Amino acid sequence: MPRRTATMLASTLMLIALLCAGVLIKVPYSEMSPGPTVNTLGDHGGEPVLQITGHKTYPTTGHLNMTTVRVTSADYNMNIAEAVYGWLAHDNIVVPHDTLYPDGKTEQQSTQENAEEFSQSQESAKVAALRELNLPVKSQVVVSTVFKDSPSEGKLHAGDVIRKVDGTPVKEMTDVAKLVTKHKPGQDVVFSVVPVKEAAAAEKAGKEPTRTDDIKMTTEKAEDGRAIVGIKAGTDHTFPFTIDIKLADVGGPSAGLMFALGIVDKLTPNDLTGGNFVAGTGTIDDKGKVGPIGGIGMKTVGARAKGAQYFLTPKDNCATAAKDVPDGLTLVKVDTIDDAVDSLKDIRKGDTADLPQCLAKK
């Protein structure tokens, strides 16, 4: 066989071997890419995303889009070729598998966790929006979960309203852990609670509950040495009218800010956007504080691809987002719902010169 032919044959076989290796050899990585973006002021799946009954609403224009990131599943086995393609692609990010699914988390566990966070973000969005508009929201600390084989099992129940711990009034759900951990493991603690059935009956009747039970429990030692009683506290809200958020197949807490702004817009006579296309992201708590999220670069790309002109960006995501801003998109820095509403008013009026922006460091 001529040397030239032998060399070409060897090179071809080597190329085939490399291609096979690229396809067959798996690597512990996952991929993130821009996901769907949905206008909270519009319809999705044939019905309005935000549905408000029992209170006057107003027409809206423009967009207040929530944004998402698409990720590969927990059981997806990426090969070398896909990893290299992802690293080279401008709109995708390849990250270690454990970044998205830590501690061997399964697809089912991740989906459940995202669903719970999404549900909580909806509640916080409603609270933040109504408080922004000075509308009344009744909040109370409740037992969210009672863990099996814990001191609380059989004594406290999910939905019980926690009034006091050891006689000290409970105002925030974080108060519960603070008061319990003042004890040493093995010491008694007393919870003053309104039983869940009593609380539900009183709410239905529009009255304050009259019954409070004092429940004594003996604390036990947690892995970190703290005293615990084996519950997870939460916050239950009562709204003056009904707000439903209809958006399936989305998880996580990052749409909270945009849901809150959509609610504010629908309950406000003056159109917030002035017809502009505004997108954004960020968690939100009951007090209107905006928190950072993951995948900010993917979200700005996805938003701009759909036509967004402005992107409301959590303050703590600004530095990362500003490193690679899609052409034609202005990143507006927000830290609270107040910041976001003020910036939207400026955008509506066309006074954008002094918008607080995320700018790349020179």
pLDDT in tens, 14-47: 555 444 544 455 555 667 678 899 999 999 989 9
Backbone angles phi, psi at 32, to 5 degrees: -115, 140
Is residue 199 within 8 Å of 162, Cβ to Cβ? no
Provide the token pair at 288: 């209107």
pLDDT in tens, 60-76: 999 999 999 877 666 66
* Exposed e or buried b per residue across 132-168, where buried means at least 16 C-beta atoms within 10 angstroms of its C-beta: beeeeeeebbbbeebeeebbbeebbbebbbbbbbeee
pLDDT at 108: 72
Provide the token pair at 99: 């970044």
**Going along 46-187, which residue ranges are E strands?**
47-48, 50-53, 63-71, 93-96, 138-146, 161-165, 168-169
pLDDT at 35: 87
Is residue 344 within 8 Å of 307, Cβ to Cβ? no
Report the SS3 class of residue 46: coil
* Exposed e or buried b per residue across 19-28, where buried means at least 16 C-beta atoms within 10 angstroms of its C-beta: eeeeeeeebe
Is residue 280 within 8 Å of 65, Cβ to Cβ? yes
Report the SS3 class of residue 113: helix
Statement: residue 88 has pLDDT above 90: no
Least confident of 5-9, 102-106, 113-117, 175-179: 5-9
Least confident of 47-56, 110-119, 242-251, 303-312: 110-119
Name the pLDDT band for 99 (thresholds 50, 70, 90): low
Whole-structure pTM value: 0.81
Is residue 176 within 8 Å of 233, Cβ to Cβ? yes
